[in-house]
C-alpha cells in the first residue's frame, strides 16, 4: 500500500471510529437501533428474529417503558448494535430517567423523607397529619425549616457517633432537633467576634443571674451575644432525645443551644455552665467537628465529666453543699445561704436530689422548684412547639432579645 492510500485508509478508519463514538455517545437507543437496521438493510421484524425477542419486549426496551429488563436481552442488543453492555445499560437508564423524570423525582423525594425523618414520631407530636401523604409531609418540612428543597436537610445530618451506654435514641429525631437549631442560628447573625478573655471576666456574674427567674437567662444571653457567643433555646420535640444542650460552631463562632431537659430550674443553669465550659476549653475541637451535643454524641477529646464537675462547682461547690445539707429541711436557712452565695435556692435542692437520687426527695422539694417556662418563652419555645416557620421564630427572637 503506497503512502497516499495508506493515509487515506487511516483517515477513513479514524473517521469511522469518531463517527461510531459519536453515535454511541449522543444517539439514543431507539435511533441507534434504527441506524443499525439501515446499515444492515434489514427490517425490524427480521432483527426480532435474529435477536429472538418479541415485538412487545423490544419496543418497550427501546422506548424506555419496559417493566423489567433481563440481562440476556441486554447481551443480545449489545452484540447486535456492536456496543458494550455498559453503554446499553447507561443509555437505557438515561432513557428511563428522561421519560419518567417526574415519577422518579417524586419517588426520590419520598425515599429521602423516609430515610431522614421518623414519620411516626412526627405524626405523634403533630408535625404532620399522615405518614402517607408525602406532598403534605414535604410541604411541612420545607415550610418549618425554611428550606428551598427537602434535600436541603442533607446538610444537617448528625454524623458523630452515639455515646456507648446512652439510652437508645432515634438519629432522625436528633437530626430534626439539630436542623431546627442550625436553621435558627442561620437567621441569627452575630456581628461580634468571639472574645474569650471578655467571657472569662464576665463569668463571675452568671451565677448571680440565676436568682432572677423571669429575666436571668435572657440577660445572660444578651451579655454572651456581645462576647460573640450566641445562645438559643430549642425544645426537644420528641421524648426519645436525651439531650440538654449543644455547643456548635456557626460562622466560626461559638453557639450554645439549650433545651428543657427536665422540669427543674437548676438543670437549665447547670446545662448552660456545662456548655460554657466546652466553649472555653473545647472550642478548637468543636471548631473542627462543627458541634458537640451533650448527652447524645461523644468525642475522645472532650470530657463530659470534667464539664459536669465545672458546672457543679461553679454553681454550688461541694464544700458549700456540705454546709447546707444538714439544714436541707430548713427552708429559711437554705434560702438565706443561697442568697449569700448568689444562687437560686432551687439549685441547691436540685443538687441535693441528684446526690441522694431518691424519688421522695424530688417530691419533698418540688415546691421550691420555680416554673421557668416564662423565661424560655422569651426565646419563642412555644412557637417551635407549634411548628411556626423557624425563620419567623428566629426573626422575632432577634428583635426581642438581640435587637438585630
Stretch(es) of the chain classified as CATH 1.10.260: 3-99
Instruction: Please name every residue paired with 344 in a beta bridge, in sequence order, or none if there are none.
Output: none
Instruction: Please name every residue paired with 255 in a beta bridge, in sequence order, or none if there are none.
Output: 230, 248
Handedness of CA 50, 52, 53, 54 (dihedral sign): positive
Give the ranges where 293-366 is alpha helix by DSSP (H).
304-316, 318-324, 331-340, 345-356, 359-365
pLDDT of the residue at 19:
45
Strand order in the sheet with 253-258: 230-233, 253-258, 245-250, 291-294
Beta strands 291-294; 253-258: pairing state: unpaired
d(CA 234, CA 181): 7
Q: What's the whole-model pTM score? A: 0.80
74 contacts 88 by C-beta, under 8 angstroms:
yes
Residue whose C-alpha is closest to residue 89's, from 65, 107, 109, 71: 71
Rounded to a whole number of angstroms, the CA Rg of the chain reads: 32
Instruction: Please name every residue paired with 257 in a beta bridge, in sequence order, or none if there are none.
Output: 232, 246
pLDDT averaged over 10-residue windows placed end to end, the chain, 404 residues: 58 47 59 88 90 87 77 86 85 80 90 96 96 96 97 84 48 94 94 96 95 95 97 92 90 94 92 96 90 69 88 96 95 97 96 93 94 89 93 92 81
d(CA 395, CA 186): 11
CATH code: domain 3-99 is 1.10.260
Beta strands in 189-290 (DSSP E): 230-233, 245-250, 253-258
Cell 446512652 belongs to residue: 166
pLDDT of the residue at 119:
97
Amino acid at each position: 500500500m503506497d503512502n497516499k492510500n495508506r493515509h487515506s485508509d487511516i483517515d477513513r478508519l479514524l473517521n469511522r471510529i469518531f463517527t461510531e463514538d459519536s453515535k454511541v455517545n449522543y444517539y439514543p437507543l431507539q435511533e441507534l437501533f434504527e441506524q443499525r437496521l439501515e446499515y444492515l438493510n434489514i427490517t425490524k421484524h427480521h432483527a426480532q428474529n435474529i435477536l429472538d425477542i418479541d415485538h412487545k419486549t423490544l419496543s418497550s426496551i427501546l422506548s424506555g417503558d419496559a417493566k423489567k429488563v433481563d440481562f440476556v436481552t441486554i447481551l443480545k442488543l449489545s452484540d447486535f448494535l456492536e456496543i458494550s453492555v455498559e453503554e446499553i445499560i447507561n443509555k437505557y437508564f438515561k432513557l428511563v430517567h428522561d421519560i419518567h423524570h417526574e415519577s422518579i423525582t417524586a419517588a426520590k423525594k419520598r425515599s429521602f423523607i423516609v430515610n431522614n425523618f421518623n414519620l411516626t414520631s412526627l405524626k405523634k407530636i403533630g408535625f404532620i397529619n399522615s405518614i402517607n401523604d408525602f406532598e403534605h409531609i414535604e410541604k411541612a418540612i420545607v415550610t418549618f425549616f425554611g428550606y428551598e428543597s427537602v434535600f436541603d436537610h442533607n446538610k444537617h445530618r448528625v454524623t458523630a457517633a452515639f455515646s456507648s451506654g446512652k439510652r437508645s435514641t432515634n438519629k432522625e429525631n436528633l437530626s430534626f432537633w439539630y436542623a431546627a437549631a442550625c436553621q435558627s442560628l442561620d437567621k441569627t447573625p452575630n456581628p461580634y467576634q468571639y472574645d474569650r478573655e471578655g467571657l472569662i471576666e464576665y463569668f463571675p456574674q452568671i451565677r448571680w443571674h440565676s436568682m432572677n427567674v423571669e429575666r436571668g437567662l435572657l440577660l445572660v444571653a444578651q451579655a454572651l451575644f456581645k462576647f460573640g457567643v450566641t445562645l438559643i433555646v430549642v425544645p426537644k420535640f420528641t421524648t426519645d432525645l436525651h439531650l440538654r444542650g449543644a455547643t456548635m460552631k456557626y460562622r466560626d463562632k461559638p453557639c450554645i443551644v439549650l433545651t428543657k431537659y427536665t422540669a427543674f430550674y437548676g438543670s437549665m443553669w447547670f446545662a448552660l455552665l456545662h456548655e460554657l465550659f466546652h466553649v472555653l476549653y473545647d472550642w478548637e475541637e468543636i471548631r473542627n467537628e462543627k458541634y458537640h451535643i451533650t448527652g447524645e454524641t461523644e468525642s475522645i477529646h472532650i470530657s463530659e465529666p470534667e464539664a459536669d464537675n465545672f458546672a457543679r462547682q461553679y454553681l454550688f461547690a461541694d464544700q458549700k453543699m456540705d454546709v447546707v445539707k444538714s439544714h436541707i429541711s430548713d427552708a429559711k436557712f437554705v434560702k438565706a445561704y443561697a442568697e449569700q452565695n448568689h444562687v437560686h435556692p432551687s439549685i441547691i435542692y436540685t443538687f441535693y436530689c441528684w446526690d441522694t437520687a431518691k424519688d421522695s426527695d424530688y417530691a419533698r422539694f418540688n415546691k421550691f422548684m420555680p416554673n421557668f417556662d416564662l423565661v424560655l418563652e422569651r426565646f419563642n419555645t412555644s412557637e417551635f412547639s407549634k411548628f411556626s416557620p423557624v425563620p419567623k421564630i428566629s426573626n422575632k427572637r432577634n428583635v426581642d432579645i438581640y435587637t438585630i
